[in-house]
Structure 1
Amino acid sequence: MTNIIHQEGYRLPANQQLIDLLYKELGNIPPMKQALKAASLIFRDSSYNAETGGYHPVEIRLVRKDEQWFFDYITDFAYMGRVYPELEKEIDFCWSQRYAFHAGLGDLGHRAACELFTLWQSNFIQYYDMGVYTIQFLWEI
């Protein structure tokens, strides 16, 4: 059986490997008395910092409608600024607001968004497979 995470309002070339790894992580949903409305998965490299770098933190939010999962957004954060670097959005793919953004380029057209998403998810899947992330969940009921 193929796992499916739907795309509503905005279409990007989601790789089945990305969807499968998200379903793998969603398998850890605790039993709840109320219906789950959304889940945010936060992927962090505990050694990532402004001085030495590392793997960027990533937040992926999925919403649940009629027992099906939908992409809401994927945000890749990076330290920005020289004197007092702060963690900020570097890349943002948002299905609910129908846009893609890169900090160095601004809002992206659909073709550029698809190309960046393809590259980003390939890298993310490799980093995940390397085991560089610890994962935190935020459940919304």
Structure 2
Amino acid sequence: MPNVRTWMLRHLARRFSIGEDILGHLSTFQRLGEAFEVEAPQEMLPVGARTVARALRSRAAPQIRPDWLWPYWMERQLDPHDEAFVPRGHLAVMTNLTHRNWTSIGNLWSPWEAIVDPTGLVTPWYDGWSIDWWVE
């Protein structure tokens, strides 16, 4: 079965113009784990996958919809004239690296907590949608 899997992976790699040199770099991941005696917690995989998926979406969204208004941090990181600008280069991901300064709102008797960013964007609960408003 490993031969079929290897053939399929190499076929897909060629289909997407991924060269042997890149496959060589990727194959080192297998060897990195061989000497690793401590097993990583199982909880890390879903958290890491969620983080990578969000970073991929954050990178793609402003390219697909450049005319939309984006969160405060994204607008700043994408603007080359802003002091918070972060060059993206060829990275396929983008995360909030510069404006992680939101304020939490809640009370002692409730497990729920909303966050508000410096421009008033409100996220009512963890991992939820956000509401933004502006006046012209």
Alignment TM-score, normalising by the size of structure 2: 0.26
Q: Which has the higher strand share?
A: 1
Q: Which has the higher helix share?
A: 2
Which structure: larger Rg?
A: 2
Between 1 and 2, higher relative CO (CA 8 Å, sep ≥ 6) is seen in 1
